[in-house]
Structure 1
Amino acid sequence: SPEPVQTDLEGHYVGPSSGVSFLLRIQKRLDQFVSFPQGSSIFTFGDVPLPYLDSLQNEAPYFDPTLYMMLSRSETTRLVQRYFDFAVPVDRFLHQQTVEMWLEELYETKGKMHNREDASIRKAVLFMVFALAQAHMSQRPTSDDADVSVRYFLAAHQLLSSEKGAIRLESIQARLLQCLWLLSESRINHCWNLFGTAARLAYAIGLHRKRHADRIDRIEVECRRRTFWSAYALDNYLSMALGRPRTFHDDDIDQELPSCVDDHQIYADHVNQDSTLGQSVMLGPVAYAKMSRILSMILRNVYSIHATSRDDKHAFATIHTKELVEWRENVAHFLDPVTHMPLIPIFQRQKNVLNLAYWHTMILTHRPFLLRNFANLQNGSRPRRDDREFESRIEQSVNECLQAATNITRTVNDMYQGGQLFRAYWFTSYFAFSAAVILYVYTIQKSNEPEEIYSGYLSAATRCQDQLSNLAEDGSLVARYCLVLEELRLEALRQ
């Protein structure tokens, strides 16, 4: 039967797909609870505070119009390059040459821009590019660097608040960039609320529907596709993390996937597919969108609020595991290359993101079976014996879960050792947290077994927790994850 309605300690609803829901069920059975910092605004309740930002909830932000004059051209050029070369491995919905043209126009017109109607929204996109790039300049940004990133965000915030006229594609792109930035700043509730606006604007201009390519220029066609599928993926991941219903519904969508062509190949009147040299940087985003469609079905089938039979649960797990394995086979040449040549930064980031997302989706598929014996943990009794085939399926799902969790902790360790784990990588931290929870829970379950059965998993979880702790800032989501992981670690040692 489905779990009863749950809320976290801040009173927010959490559905069954949420890692928080999974933990609440563990804590309920272990009689443990975790305290979370309190917030203020209902739209950002539970988020880490940010300088200047929370004071803007009830008043219009002040924006200094001379800011354009103070922006170093060399610095903003460097930020744009960092954005495209590193900051956005899979959410690549902006066209690089177009953004560079807007940057040129910003300085040429001293901030006025040529077309007054879309000047504000294009400048907002530029400032969000600056903000995201600044957040990804170093593993551990200084307070001054973080402050600069916030100020870029505030500049975009002010420009968007004064937006007038028709809804433009850039209106959605700017807000999606804000969502990505807010996640990097541990502002998941703020992100979720803002995403609702972005998603409804996307619906309003029909981003979820395919358009005839001959009616609009090719750059806009590709940007519409990229923007929608980036929003679709973010919708799924917010739903997964928070356990809340999704905004987009698959039955309403017939938008085509983006083409696997790079920005320099796309022109207003044609796409030059013959100029591809080597792997396209769009391979990662397209693969990410395809996996997100699988994730959508997992959230609907595996984590339905409606009662599901035992056989249906295993049927769904089998179907979605097959889909995930087939997905990976199609990108195996990138994720599992025969030769291990060093990759350029953007390809290395894409490889890490796709691997982590794949293994975490595998965890989501099989995680419900891990708790099957947890109800008997306290009294030490053994679970009732079902038929052998059913028990074999349970064991197979648990093994899939453990393998995926181990792969995540191994990848995070490689990133950490290689200096590639940035504080701004919110989803990486979330995936690492989810993996460590799986390994700790399994260790607790197997505490009465010989140590060699669980010791490797306990070591991997502890190492992953230590690495997250070294990355965490006070009050951040990662810091909260570490509080929960410490409780589980102590319980694993106690058991």
Structure 2
Amino acid sequence: MSSEPPQTFAAGQHIGPTAGVSFLYHVWNRSEINEGETVPAAPLTCYGDMPQPVIRQDEQFPTPDEAKAFLARYFRFATPTYRFLHQPTVEHWMSQILAGSPLLMAEAACALLVCAQALLYSADGDRYKEGGDEELIRSRSYFDKAKALLNQEPGPATLASVQARLAVCLYLLCTFRINECRFCFSLACTISTSIGLHRKTSPSQKLDLVTLESRKRTFWCAYVFDNYLSVMLGRPRIFRDEDIDQQYPRNIDDQDLLSSESPEELPQHGNLEAFIAHAHLAKLMARNSDLLYPLRPLSEDQVFERTDQMLEAVYHWRQNLPDFLKPRDRTLAGQRTFERQNTVLKLAYAHLRILVTRRCLLMDFSQLGRSSSASEDGRAEKPIRECAAAIGTILHTTYELFQRGSMYQSFWVTHYVALVAISTLYVFMIQNSRSSIPAGLFPDIDVFFDKAQYCQAQLAAMTPDGSQARRHYNLLDRLRKRAEKDAGRVQRAGDRTPSMGPPSLVTNIYQQALATPVPPLANGHANADRRTSVSGEAGGSMGRPLHEIETYSTGTDVAAKDVTVTMVGQFTPSKDDYASQNLLDWGWENLDTVGFPGEGDLFDFQA
């Protein structure tokens, strides 16, 4: 492993070892393409995001019926685990706007942002063509009005000041504007600490119940955002656990949460289980970054010890989930809140398992355990199996969402974790062609390679031109071609047939995926019959950690392939191969969240 984590810079911005972009930009920097000529000029706070069209400013406020529909869509579907707004409070703010009554700027901004967010889920397909469809333009108009209000907001800061800016961040993530989101989020965090949201409220403050619980919800939602932005961009977290003693919110439904009530008199069975579980998972994500990606290099033993420690913590998190939230074999693709919550948590759980285990993916199996007892030789096998299972969960879930017409462009979590899974799979395949990895660690890898190509093509087609995400998918395609090339070279021992089919076959699969239309959503959203589960019982093999199951099920009709034969490289190295032959020396501190190395253009290959 390398002696220290890389210090990567792209367009003058630091990208740490946990970033989702460092390898992509290094490919660009070492190639003949000048990134500075590719990214359009833009203000500092949104540099790297796609340019925004000029939006008309004459958009009227929604009618009462529209406002009611927007509120329902927002709280039922658009924010499955980001419950920082209190629905009756927002309903009151909306009624004040419609009545023309005075309202604080931050409160009015929150109401407008709820409308803007709800409109992002009003239709499927590519909504960014020719400047955007009518509903997207309307959404942008409400968003711009809200931003204008926040830019004029006078002091002092209030809870609504933080909530409005978190709503802005959520909107920016859903519209492929992650760089602007990071700047806005930094301000939201500054305001939140200035009003003490990170600290437990003193009884002497005598806050009403709605305000007290809203403070908790707002802070823990910000905490979750902080951890995702940290691993997506490779930047340090803003919130540190040692500075926090804020309590988790009570599990009380919004309609039961009233200022005049005593918490002891309210039912503790609301819809915040997923919100609280996501906050717990974010704490594990922060812990994983600290343990497995420190500034100082880790020894091989330390990597295994810390990986095992984190896996146990992640297993414990899953066991504590209520049954309706536990990951399932098949995907809940309906419109009900608990279905969205289940899918989001399943993807988040699989994503963290990849982050926990991926450092073991590139261990040198020819050297592993050479200086240790024979019982330690298989230390990397469990983490790699776990990583493979997590990759499979994400690919299968994303594939099913596409097949059932339930994938929206605004599903930013799905876009991100799919990129993590696909790129990690490609790196595993390249490593697999260069060292003798024990057989059976990644069952049905050829099936998942096909799914990865399909999902990559569909996700890339959904990503608007000019966005950072589109540049990432374009560069990810170079990694796919490298994996595809190696797939044609890797053969089963004693069999001259490539394990994953000839390059022409896998290329055709990718091209077919690009040409395959995504099933449409009926009336702008999934059919009513999609509300029911397309899955079996909770806690199936795809959702369970590998220590609880014997084999990994793909959940597909594709016949299981024979994976009992050791995979070995059977080819004569080319000039390109010598450039990347020693994958074992990368070390995962040189790789970011999506499996891209942080130093050098290791995959600047010839076609």
Query: One fold, TM greater than 0.5?
Result: yes
Instruction: Answer yes or no: is the 8 Å Cα contact 1:265–1:271 preserved in 2.
Output: no
What's the CA shift for 1:390?
Answer: 5.0
Instruction: Answer yes or no: is the 8 Å Cα contact 1:335–1:351 preserved in 2.
Output: yes
Q: What is the root-mean-square deviation in Å for CA atoms of aligned residues? A: 2.8
What's the CA shift for 1:271?
Answer: 4.8
- Report the Cα distance in structure 1 between the residues aligned to 2:376 and 2:16, rounded to whole angstroms: 26
Q: Are residues 12 and 337 of structure 1, via their aligned partners in 2, closer, same or farther at CA, if it must alter by over 3 Å?
A: closer
**SS at structure 2 position matched to 1:19:** coil
For structure 1, which segment, 340-349 or 309-318, has the greater mean C-alpha deviation from structure 2 after superposition? Answer: 340-349
- Report the Cα distance in structure 1 between the residues aligned to 2:32 and 2:245, rounded to whole angstroms: 44
What's the CA shift for 1:438?
Answer: 1.2
Q: How does 1:82-481 map to 2 (within 5 A)?
A: 82-108=73-99, 110=100, 112-113=101-102, 119-140=104-125, 141=127, 142-212=132-202, 215-271=206-262, 276=267, 280-331=270-321, 333-336=323-326, 345-373=336-364, 386=370, 387=372, 388-389=374-375, 391-447=377-433, 454-481=445-472
Q: Are residues 332 and 269 of structure 1, via their aligned partners in 2, closer, same or farther at CA, if it must alter by over 3 Å?
A: closer
Instruction: Answer yes or no: is the 8 Å Cα contact 1:239–1:245 preserved in 2.
Output: yes
The runs of 5 or more residues in structure 2 that have no matched partner are: 487-607
- Report the Cα distance in structure 2 between the residues aligned to 1:267 and 1:201, rounded to whole angstroms: 25
What's the CA shift for 1:385?
Answer: 6.5
| Map of 1:6 onto structure 2 | 8
Q: Are residues 52 and 300 of structure 1, via their aligned partners in 2, closer, same or farther at CA, if it must alter by over 3 Å?
A: farther
What's the CA shift for 1:484?
Answer: 2.6
What's the CA shift for 1:437?
Answer: 0.6
Instruction: Answer yes or no: is the 8 Å Cα contact 1:446–1:453 preserved in 2.
Output: no
Instruction: Answer yes or no: is the 8 Å Cα contact 1:405–1:436 preserved in 2.
Output: yes
Instruction: Answer yes or no: is the 8 Å Cα contact 1:302–1:316 preserved in 2.
Output: yes
- Aligned residue pairs, count: 466
Q: Are residues 63 and 457 of structure 1, via their aligned partners in 2, closer, same or farther at CA, if it must alter by over 3 Å?
A: closer
The structure whose Rg is larger is 2
- Report the Cα distance in structure 1 between the residues aligned to 2:396 and 2:5, rounded to whole angstroms: 32
- Report the Cα distance in structure 2 between the residues aligned to 1:186 and 1:128, rounded to whole angstroms: 16
Instruction: Answer yes or no: is the 8 Å Cα contact 1:446–1:454 preserved in 2.
Output: no
Q: Which amino acid is 1:488 matched to?
A: L
Instruction: Answer yes or no: is the 8 Å Cα contact 1:47–1:188 preserved in 2.
Output: yes
- Report the Cα distance in structure 1 between the residues aligned to 2:413 and 2:51, rounded to whole angstroms: 19
Deviations 1:397-425 (A, max 9, x none): 22211110111001111211222211011
Q: Which amino acid is 1:2 matched to?
A: E
| Map of 1:57 onto structure 2 | none
Q: Are residues 332 and 488 of structure 1, via their aligned partners in 2, closer, same or farther at CA, if it must alter by over 3 Å?
A: farther
- Report the Cα distance in structure 2 between the residues aligned to 1:129 and 1:338, rounded to whole angstroms: 30
| Map of 1:17 onto structure 2 | 18
Instruction: Answer yes or no: is the 8 Å Cα contact 2:16–2:235 preserved in 1.
Output: yes
Instruction: Answer yes or no: is the 8 Å Cα contact 1:167–1:205 preserved in 2.
Output: yes
- Report the Cα distance in structure 1 between the residues aligned to 2:189 and 2:297, rounded to whole angstroms: 29
Instruction: Answer yes or no: is the 8 Å Cα contact 2:24–2:472 preserved in 1.
Output: no
- Report the Cα distance in structure 2 between the residues aligned to 1:247 and 1:385, rounded to whole angstroms: 39
Instruction: Answer yes or no: is the 8 Å Cα contact 1:362–1:401 preserved in 2.
Output: yes
Q: Are residues 174 and 409 of structure 1, via their aligned partners in 2, closer, same or farther at CA, if it must alter by over 3 Å?
A: same
Q: Which amino acid is 1:19 matched to?
A: G
Q: Which amino acid is 1:323 matched to?
A: A
Q: Are residues 306 and 338 of structure 1, via their aligned partners in 2, closer, same or farther at CA, if it must alter by over 3 Å?
A: closer
Q: Are residues 319 and 276 of structure 1, via their aligned partners in 2, closer, same or farther at CA, if it must alter by over 3 Å?
A: same
For structure 1, which segment, 388-397 or 262-271, has the greater mean C-alpha deviation from structure 2 after superposition? Answer: 388-397
- Report the Cα distance in structure 2 between the residues aligned to 1:78 and 1:465, rounded to whole angstroms: 33
The runs of 5 or more residues in structure 1 that have no matched partner are: 54-61, 375-381
Identity of aligned residues (%): 33
Deviations 1:356-407 (A, max 9, x none): 0010011011112223459xxxxxxx66773455542223222211110111
Higher helix share: 1
| Map of 2:39 onto structure 1 | 38
For structure 1, which segment, 384-393 or 210-219, has the greater mean C-alpha deviation from structure 2 after superposition? Answer: 384-393
Instruction: Answer yes or no: is the 8 Å Cα contact 2:48–2:467 preserved in 1.
Output: no
- Report the Cα distance in structure 1 between the residues aligned to 2:431 and 2:13, rounded to whole angstroms: 29
What's the CA shift for 1:3?
Answer: 2.1
- Report the Cα distance in structure 2 between the residues aligned to 1:310 and 1:218, rounded to whole angstroms: 50
Deviations 1:299-343 (A, max 9, x none): 111111222222222222111111111111111512348999986
- Report the Cα distance in structure 2 between the residues aligned to 1:337 and 1:244, rounded to whole angstroms: 29
Q: Which amino acid is 1:96 matched to?
A: Q
- Report the Cα distance in structure 2 between the residues aligned to 1:414 and 1:174, rounded to whole angstroms: 34
Q: Which amino acid is 1:175 matched to?
A: R
Question: What TM-score do the two structures reach when normalised by structure 2?
Answer: 0.71
Q: Relative contact order (alpha carbons < 8 A, sep ≥ 6): 1 or 2 greater?
A: 2
Q: Which amino acid is 1:367 matched to?
A: R
Instruction: Answer yes or no: is the 8 Å Cα contact 1:469–1:482 preserved in 2.
Output: yes
For structure 1, which segment, 71-80 or 160-169, has the greater mean C-alpha deviation from structure 2 after superposition? Answer: 71-80
**SS at structure 2 position matched to 1:163:** coil
Deviations 1:83-109 (A, max 9, x none): 11111111111110111111112222x
Instruction: Answer yes or no: is the 8 Å Cα contact 1:443–1:457 preserved in 2.
Output: no
| Map of 1:50 onto structure 2 | 52
Deviations 1:276-317 (A, max 9, x none): 59x632111011011111111111111112222222222221
What's the CA shift for 1:11?
Answer: 3.2
- Report the Cα distance in structure 2 between the residues aligned to 1:328 and 1:270, rounded to whole angstroms: 33
- Report the Cα distance in structure 2 between the residues aligned to 1:228 and 1:460, rounded to whole angstroms: 37
For structure 1, which segment, 216-225 or 454-463, has the greater mean C-alpha deviation from structure 2 after superposition? Answer: 454-463
What's the CA shift for 1:267?
Answer: 1.1
- Report the Cα distance in structure 1 between the residues aligned to 2:32 and 2:261, rounded to whole angstroms: 58
**SS at structure 2 position matched to 1:7:** strand
What's the CA shift for 1:147?
Answer: 1.3
- Report the Cα distance in structure 1 between the residues aligned to 2:369 and 2:449, rounded to whole angstroms: 27
Instruction: Answer yes or no: is the 8 Å Cα contact 1:265–1:272 preserved in 2.
Output: no
| Map of 1:378 onto structure 2 | none
Q: Which amino acid is 1:489 matched to?
A: R
- Report the Cα distance in structure 1 between the residues aligned to 2:345 and 2:34, rounded to whole angstroms: 32
